[in-house]
Chain A
Amino acid sequence: MSAQPSDALAPVELIPEAPGFLISIVRRLRGDPLGLLGLLIVLTVIVLAIIGPSIAPYSPFKIKVPERFMPPTLLALVGGGDGVHGTFSHVFGTDNLGRDVFSRVLAGTQIALGVGGGSIAIALVIGLMLGLIAGYGPRWLDNFLMLLFDSIYSFPTVILGLTVMTLLGPSIPTLMFVVVVIQTPAYGRLIRTATLATKSSEYILAIRSLGSSPGRILLVHILPNIIGPLFIVASMDIPSVIALEAGLTYLGLGIPPPAPSWGRILQEGFESIRDAPWIVVAGGIPLILTTLGFTFLGESLRDLLDPKLRRIV
């Protein structure tokens, strides 16, 4: 065994500042095939969401009833493209109204990422504020917020979503509101715990004795020290939020038609699952790939950036 113990024992570089950050993450992911696969899938999904509308062969809303239930290209390759086994004009076939399933799946990428990312961002901001208040504010306010968080937490997510959607009526803003309500307690709790741990440290005591206002202490001195783990946790929530959006839409209580959410494609496909099974297959696979991609990437990032979180999450 003449292998030199060079790389393994070399001092690990700390994560550099902004410019090399992404490159350093990719470099660190190199030894982790699943993490790289996740990164690849996530980047593909993001690119597809941005350029999707311009590469889609048809409009996702264009109804052409005579061309309904046209089988996908894959079946054409097996059967010879005679129209019964499949066509070459519609890669994923067509649905019950003759709309191109591939174009609809592409358009769904935008909805999934937009609703998922947007609502998580809002939940992050609200959770951050409430968490800081709970951690730094008076005891009674802390207790009240914790009870509120625990109570929201005790509703099963899908059932809470169904209740709110029933009351307010299905729409994209309502769906985002549901996600914010479900996700905020998790972020609030995390920030509260970190704030509690930080506020008794000596540098905070020193700043307070210099007469700093609570707002300044929270935003300038505590926040930068505790915000890191929050982003990792939030990025790991993206798959479950995308699944929640698709799930509620599947049940008819999410994003209203005709928006081509993946959940809507699955629901419409499910109604004709015996005649045109390719619709549910085409609607489900991007959902599975996206959630897998984000999960693989999130797990690797968590292990890379903050091994301590492994026990919490």
Chain B
Amino acid sequence: MLIYTLQRIGLAILICITSMCLLFGALHLIPGDLATIMLGSRATKEMRDNLNHEMGLDRPVPVQLAKFLGRIVQGDLGSDPVTKRSVATIIMENLPYTLVLILTALGWSAALGIPLGCYSAIRRNSWIDRVTGVISVGTISIPSFVVAIYALLLFAIQVNWFPVIGAGDPGNLGDQIWHLVLPSFAVGLGWVGYLARLVRASMLEVMGEHHVRTARAFGLPEAKIILHYALRIAILPTITMLALAIGGLLSSAVFAENIFARPGIGKLIVDAAYLHNYPVVQGAVLTTVALFALAMPIADLLIAWLDPRVRATF
């Protein structure tokens, strides 16, 4: 078990390092020099040299890579050339907003999608099952940013139920939740159908297994069989999916944050991208990669903890 855990964490770290090297490589392979891109074509040579020196771009490439990796290990993501503040600080200010948005979206979509999938599996081929099937495919394929724009048009502009922009008054929890409704709706909508389909498929598989049949033979009540014996196993693939979903959720969050003008990592990246503020883009991107890479081993361990059969194979 310990070896397995270490292996998973090791792989996550290796993926993080490779991603950093890819980012670093991309930075050096681009045509033209970074200082010109960041400062624009009207910058003087002196300004460019200054920025290059400030960012350490005038040193040999291997030295830069070593320094770059070394600094990141210490949690130093460099400093923002525009505001001169530490990139790590800027990210820590924005990250909570994104995490709250993603977790709320995941929460409501799981609360709706898992029971829906469960019900579809038990009442297979009923009209609820069929409608759920069609709606699932539909909501999965609609781009989340169109959902966000339409939700904003409908619920915040046409009927004035929800606020249009921002994340709400920092001291006022109710106001913050109020501002969270539409963005988390847009981010989570596609996942309702996805989770329902996933849970349905794995429930159908589990309901045919021996231990469920045994439980039936013992005459246990159907509700107990479904909740304690079937769903407990059927939920496991969903946990892996939820960890994989972090990437998709972060992508949706980029749109939701920009459309609803909410602070967060996604808005930070887009705003920095407009200004060609590369250090901020780089820091924010690395943060999202790290989130994703770490979510996988956590999900694996969670599954091992929940399913004694998986634990036994270690």
Question: Does A274 count as interface, using CB distance less than 8 angstroms?
Answer: yes
Instruction: Report yes or no: B23 in contact with A147, Cβ–Cβ below 8 A.
Output: no
As a 0/1 sequence over residues 254 to 292 of chain A, the CB contacts with chain B under 8 angstroms (1 = contact) are 000000000000100010011001001100100110011
Instruction: Report yes or no: B146 in contact with A288, Cβ–Cβ below 8 A.
Output: yes
Question: Does A225 count as interface, using CB distance less than 8 angstroms?
Answer: no
Which A residue's beta carbon lies closest to that of B282? A163
- By a CB distance below 8 angstroms, the chain A residues around B293 are 154
Question: Does B194 count as interface, using CB distance less than 8 angstroms?
Answer: no
Question: Does B2 count as interface, using CB distance less than 8 angstroms?
Answer: no
Stretch at the interface among B48-56, B104-112, B223-231, B244-252: B244-252
Instruction: Report yes or no: B157 in contact with A273, Cβ–Cβ below 8 A.
Output: yes
Known contacts A250-B145, A274-B157, A292 near B15 by CB under 8 Å: no
Question: Does A253 count as interface, using CB distance less than 8 angstroms?
Answer: yes
Question: Does A148 count as interface, using CB distance less than 8 angstroms?
Answer: yes
Stretch at the interface among A128-136, A227-235, A239-247: A239-247
Stretch at the interface among B69-77, B83-91, B148-156, B167-175: B148-156
A168 to B284, CA, bound (A): 18
Instruction: Report yes or no: A157 in contact with B247, Cβ–Cβ below 8 A.
Output: yes
A-B contact count (CB 8 A): 133
As a 0/1 sequence over residues 90 to 103 of chain A, the CB contacts with chain B under 8 angstroms (1 = contact) are 00000000000000
- By a CB distance below 8 angstroms, the chain A residues around B30 are 167-168
Instruction: Report yes or no: B137 in contact with A166, Cβ–Cβ below 8 A.
Output: no
Stretch at the interface among B179-187, B213-221, B254-262, B305-313: B254-262
A215 to B114, CA, bound (A): 48
Instruction: Report yes or no: B285 in contact with A158, Cβ–Cβ below 8 A.
Output: no
- By a CB distance below 8 angstroms, the chain B residues around A34 are 134, 137
Question: Does A142 count as interface, using CB distance less than 8 angstroms?
Answer: no
Known contacts A155-B285, A277-B157, A165 near B273 by CB under 8 Å: yes
Instruction: Report yes or no: A292 in contact with B141, Cβ–Cβ below 8 A.
Output: yes
Question: Does B64 count as interface, using CB distance less than 8 angstroms?
Answer: no
- By a CB distance below 8 angstroms, the chain B residues around A53 are none
Question: Does B8 count as interface, using CB distance less than 8 angstroms?
Answer: no
Question: Does B1 count as interface, using CB distance less than 8 angstroms?
Answer: no
Which B residue's beta carbon lies closest to that of A295? B141
Size bracket of the B interface: 35 or more
- By a CB distance below 8 angstroms, the chain B residues around A294 are 141
Known contacts A167-B27, A280-B149, A288-B142, A157 near B273 by CB under 8 Å: no
Q: Choose from A154, A159, A284, A299 the contact partner of B15 (Cβ within 8 Å).
A: A154
Instruction: Report yes or no: A277 in contact with B153, Cβ–Cβ below 8 A.
Output: yes
Instruction: Report yes or no: B15 in contact with A253, Cβ–Cβ below 8 A.
Output: no
- By a CB distance below 8 angstroms, the chain B residues around A150 are 15, 18
As a 0/1 sequence over residues 1 to 44 of chain B, the CB contacts with chain A under 8 angstroms (1 = contact) are 00000000000001110110011001100110000010000000
Least CB distance from A44 to B in Å reads 17
As a 0/1 sequence over residues 209 to 241 of chain A, the CB contacts with chain B under 8 angstroms (1 = contact) are 000000000000000000000000000000100
Known contacts A166-B276, A167-B30, A284 near B146 by CB under 8 Å: yes
Instruction: Report yes or no: A163 in contact with B26, Cβ–Cβ below 8 A.
Output: yes
Known contacts A151-B18, A155-B289, A166-B281, A291 near B254 by CB under 8 Å: no
Near B by CB (< 8 A), chain A positions 132-152 give 147-148, 150-152
A103 to B249, CA, bound (A): 34
Instruction: Report yes or no: A159 in contact with B19, Cβ–Cβ below 8 A.
Output: no
- By a CB distance below 8 angstroms, the chain A residues around B292 are 154-156
- By a CB distance below 8 angstroms, the chain B residues around A165 are 273
A32 to B140, CA, bound (A): 19
Known contacts A147-B14, A151-B19, A162 near B270 by CB under 8 Å: yes
Instruction: Report yes or no: A151 in contact with B278, Cβ–Cβ below 8 A.
Output: no
Instruction: Report yes or no: B273 in contact with A247, Cβ–Cβ below 8 A.
Output: no
Which B residue's beta carbon lies closest to that of A150? B15
Question: Does A252 count as interface, using CB distance less than 8 angstroms?
Answer: yes
A292 to B140, CA, bound (A): 9
Q: Choose from A147, A167, A284, A291 the contact partner of B149 (Cβ within 8 Å).
A: A284
B interface list, Cβ under 8 A from A:
14-16, 18-19, 22-23, 26-27, 30-31, 37, 134, 137-138, 140-143, 145-146, 149-150, 152-153, 157-158, 246-248, 250-252, 254-255, 258-259, 266, 269-270, 273-274, 276, 278, 281-282, 284-285, 288-289, 292-293
A interface list, Cβ under 8 A from B:
34, 147-148, 150-160, 162-168, 239, 243, 246-247, 250-253, 266, 270, 273-274, 277, 280-281, 284, 287-288, 291-292, 294-296, 299
Q: Could you show 5 A-B contacts with beta carbons less than 8 Å apart? A: A151-B15, A155-B292, A159-B288, A266-B146, A284-B150
Please give me the 3 A-B residue pairs with the lowest Cβ-Cβ distance, nearest first: A158-B251, A295-B141, A243-B143
